[in-house]
Amino acid sequence: MVATATSEVVDERTEAADGVQPMIRMRGISKRFGGVVALDDVDLDAYAEEVLAIVGDNGAGKSTLIKILTGVYQPTQGSMTLDGQPFSMFSHSDAIAAGVDAVYQNLAIADHLTPAENLFLGAELSRSFLGIQWLDNRRMKKIATDTLRDRLGVQLKNMDVLTESLSGGQRQAVAIARAVRHENLRVLVMDEPTAALGPQETARTLELIKTLRQQGLAVIVISHSLDDVFEISDRIHVQRRGRCAGVVRTADTTTEEVLSLIVGAETHE
Amino acid sequence: MIDTSPEVPVKGMTLTQRLEPYVSFIGPMAMIIAILLFMAIVEPARYFRTSNLNQILLDAALYMPMAMAMTFVITQRGIDLSIGSVAALSGICMAFLMKQYGFSAPIAVAIALILGALMGLVNGLVITRLKVPDLIGTLAMDLVYRGIALVIAKGLVLARFPELITEIGRGQSLVYLPTPVIIGLVTMIVGYLVLTRTHFGRYTIAIGSNPEASTMTGIDVDRHKVYAYVFMGTMAALAGVMLTGKLNAIQATSAPYFNLHVIAAVVVGGTSLFGGRASILGSLAGVLLLSMMINALVTLRIEFFWQSVASGAVIILSVALYTWLQKKDRDGSSGMAGILGSARLSRTYKLAGAILGALALLMTIGLIFAGNTGPSG
């Protein structure tokens, strides 16, 4: 029963989201590292107000794909558009400037700084006094508190503690807040957002992702947890051995079907 | 446990959370109080004389600028072992400029500070461009700077300097406190402002805390490392000027153990050798603690050589204590304040008691040995 579904669902991807123009459109993306082909002719569409999950085995090319999307790697072949405009970048900061940011698995957070200091790390607000640029800690703290509360619905008891004393979910929220603080953020990529979290923290993070979708972002989530994927995603993009093995609507599919796409067990030649 | 859910009201900080930033300060303060109590019992008349307290501050002042800058270097996961030689070479150059080439004192001091900054720049470039590990790089540069100082000064002792230099080193014309103490305290305040209110200070903590994340957010890690070493070199040169003024003399072999003394003060003050955790206030307390301890040993007429035994013991004990606290930290309680407020309280106090006991024991041993040397006026 699973086998028959495979060929049909692949065709479904371009019809998703009622023919609306995708926020991100990747076409024919290939990436080779020397002789190793990490990605081979992959297409990917992500829409605003949508959560797209990318699943696949280790080495299926998920990480390479999002690193290309966020400007960390440049593709060997292929093209991308962002909101209909041709889109190419040479660094991660190019991607951030264009409105594409990522929250990585290791969170890229400095434990010995407060949440507000982490939110503004590398982009601090300052005031000039006596010819010296002094950090405007009060304003940064206020904006950080507002961003966490208004965008993510997270209120920390105490904004003055070091980030190391926060829970995994709160650290996650700080990392997400750093990305959404940018006014022009349109695409947020999240690499294994729930991997290091307990059940309660996971539930909260999934709620956060839904909140971000409501705010109109195109959210791309890489996850190994199919439970999480089925709870939050609208569509699932399955990677296998560097190729796209299929894109399915979450509502129309089952865990078994996605699993069979991941392992490629039931394909008929 | 802090909760993320929105319905939890925002509460003010608890007392322990308020105390958290000062925990590193409390450690050395406890040791300082222990020394004061011990000396109040054993040798109050000589230790608490105004002239002696003044002497303690004078000794401490010399190390304040260096301890402040070293806090930045260590927080960035670096270390600078060359500061003694930087101080000596800057002092020698300043002395020669005045003695041999007739430069006025203010200009000679300015040139000394610039030379210190240049030496720091070289240190920074050796570490970031040549990729020599900081420990080896600054140790080797220590030899280089000391060598150059010896080449310039040969075995000469340069003495008798203009009033400005002695004023910087031991004068008292500004207020009640000696001028070098004022200079030291001002550098500490500047260091505190730089650490908490400037980009450089913020990036110093970020780089020490998570270098990869810092690079990712666009911070030029190498550039800020070089800045820290330039800062360190300048402050070491300032210490060289202060030392020259204090002794009214300088020679190439001056300031031999500045590096270890300063690193000890910074580490005792709670700045983490593993990076990211900085405490300027703690460094000030650390400097005071070491000066008081050494002065106590002198007052008790303990042989000079015991000083280095005591300094070494204090370094080991503090690093062991902080590492132990941080391990506890990772084990689940929230911050160091969490430990003070937790059920493990008694164990923490026992450890602190053991450290203070060891310190007292050390002094007692010294006192017994001192009995043999006999009092001398």
Chain A residues within an 8 Å CB radius of B199: 124, 126, 133, 135
Q: What is the pLDDT of residue A224?
A: 86
Smallest CA-to-CA distance from B63 within B236, B306, B201, B307 is with B236
CB pair distance less than 8 Å for A108 and B205: no
Q: What is the pLDDT of residue B183?
A: 93
Flag whether pLDDT at B190 surpasses 60: yes
Judged by average pLDDT, the poorest of A215-224, B200-209, B355-364 is: B355-364
Residues B226 and B362 in one domain: no
Closest chain A CA to residue B207? A110
Q: Tokens 């199919």 label which residue?
A: A226
CA B374 to chain A, closest CA, distance in angstroms equals 51
**Spatial separation of the C-alpha atoms in residues A268 and B369, rounded to whole Å:** 90
pLDDT band for A266, please (50, 70, 90 cuts).
low
The tally of domains found in chain B comes to 2
B15 in any annotated domain: no
Q: Which of B301, B332, B351 is the last residue of a domain?
A: B301
Percent over 90 (pLDDT), chain B: 44
Smallest CA-to-CA distance from A54 within A228, A217, A264, A215 is with A228
How high is the mean pLDDT of chain A?
83
H or E segment to which residue A119 belongs = helix A115-119
Helix (H, G, I), strand (E, B) or coil at B127: helix
B328 in any annotated domain: yes
pLDDT band for A17, please (50, 70, 90 cuts).
very low
Q: Are strands A24-33 and A126-129 parallel, antiparallel or unpaired?
A: unpaired
With a CB-CB cutoff of 8 Å, which residues 63-122 of chain A face chain B? Answer: 92-93, 106-113, 117, 121-122
Q: What is the pLDDT of residue B327?
A: 65
Residues B340 and B275 in one domain: no
Residues B218 and B309 in one domain: no
Please indicate if any CB of chain A lies within 8 Å of the CB of B128: no
Residues B61 and B183 in one domain: yes
B8 in any annotated domain: no
Residues B280 and B317 in one domain: no
Chain A residues within an 8 Å CB radius of B10: 155-157
The sign one gets for the Cα dihedral A198, A201, A207, A209 is negative
Q: What is the pLDDT of residue A110?
A: 87
Closest chain A CA to residue B272? A112
Chain B residues within an 8 Å CB radius of A201: 4
Flag whether pLDDT at B131 surpasses 50: yes
State the average pLDDT over residues A19-24.
82
Q: What are phi and psi of A249, to 5 degrees?
A: -75, 130
Q: What is the pLDDT of residue B173?
A: 75
Closest chain B CA to residue A104? B213
**Spatial separation of the C-alpha atoms in residues B22 and B44, rounded to whole Å:** 29
pLDDT band for B32, please (50, 70, 90 cuts).
confident
Q: Which of B301, B319, B339 is the last residue of a domain?
A: B301
Chain B interface, best mutation among A104, A106, A111, A112, by max B CB count within 10 A = A112
Residues B293 and B321 in one domain: no
Chain A residues within an 8 Å CB radius of B206: 110, 112-113, 117, 121
Token pair for A207: 């709620």
Residue in B2, B199, B209 nearest the CB of A112: B209
Judged by average pLDDT, the poorest of A61-65, A118-122, B107-111, B349-353 is: B349-353
Residues B126 and B239 in one domain: yes
B225 in any annotated domain: yes
State the average pLDDT over residues A147-154.
84
Q: The CATH number of the domain where B229 resides is what?
A: 1.10.3470
Percent over 90 (pLDDT), chain A: 12
B199: domain range?
43-301
**Spatial separation of the C-alpha atoms in residues B191 and B208, rounded to whole Å:** 17
pLDDT band for A3, please (50, 70, 90 cuts).
very low
B9 in any annotated domain: no
Q: Which of B278, B301, B324 is the last residue of a domain?
A: B301
Predicted-assembly ipTM surpassing the 0.90 threshold: no
Classify residue A88 by its DSSP letter.
-
* Interval B229-273: pLDDT, tens: 999 999 999 999 999 999 999 998 888 888 888 998 998 888 888
Q: Return the top range by mean pLDDT from A221-225, B20-24, B79-83.
A: B79-83
Q: Return the top range by mean pLDDT from A27-36, A189-198, A259-268, B119-128.
A: B119-128
pLDDT band for A260, please (50, 70, 90 cuts).
confident
Residues B232 and B243 in one domain: yes
Q: What is the pLDDT of residue B175?
A: 72
**Spatial separation of the C-alpha atoms in residues A246 and A252, rounded to whole Å:** 13
Residues 6 or more apart in contact with residue B105 via CB below 8 angstroms: B98, B161, B162, B163, B164, B165
Residue B310 to residues A208, B360, B364, Cα–Cα distance (Å): 55, 11, 12
Q: Is residue A70 exposed (0-12), middle (13-18) or buried (19+ Cβ within 10 Å)?
A: buried
The full 3-state SS of A174-225, as one line of letters, equals HHHHHHHCCCCCCEEEEECCCCCCCHHHHHHHHHHHHHHHHCCCEEEEECCC
Chain A residues within an 8 Å CB radius of B3: 157
Helical segments of chain B, H only: 15-19, 23-42, 44-47, 50-75, 83-99, 105-128, 134-153, 163-170, 179-197, 199-209, 211-216, 221-247, 258-268, 280-299, 306-330, 335-340, 345-373
Residues B147 and B285 in one domain: yes
Q: Are strands A100-103 and A187-191 parallel, antiparallel or unpaired?
A: parallel
Residues B247 and B140 in one domain: yes
State the average pLDDT over residues A246-262.
88
Flag whether pLDDT at A248 surpasses 50: yes
Token pair for A3: 């086998």
Q: What is the pLDDT of residue A6?
A: 42
* Interval B284-314: pLDDT, tens: 999 998 898 888 888 888 887 787 788 788 7
Higher pLDDT, A22 or B85: B85
Closest chain B CA to residue A157? B10
Contact A141, A123 (CB under 8 A): no
pTM, entire model: 0.81
Residue B6 to residues A170, A208, A231, B67, Cα–Cα distance (Å): 12, 12, 21, 43
Smallest CA-to-CA distance from A71 within A43, A96, A103, A105 is with A96
Q: Return the top range by mean pLDDT from A148-162, B178-192, B311-325.
A: B178-192
Residues B172 and B309 in one domain: no
Higher pLDDT, A27 or B304: A27
Contact B188, B284 (CB under 8 A): yes
B207 in any annotated domain: yes
Q: What is the pLDDT of residue B1?
A: 36
Residues B75 and B91 in one domain: yes
State the average pLDDT over residues B212-231.
90
Token pair for A71: 């400007």
Residue in B10, B196, B216 nearest the CB of A108: B216
Q: How many C-beta atoms lie closer than 10 Å to residue B91's C-beta?
A: 33
Higher pLDDT, A189 or A19: A189
**Spatial separation of the C-alpha atoms in residues B358 and A34, rounded to whole Å:** 61
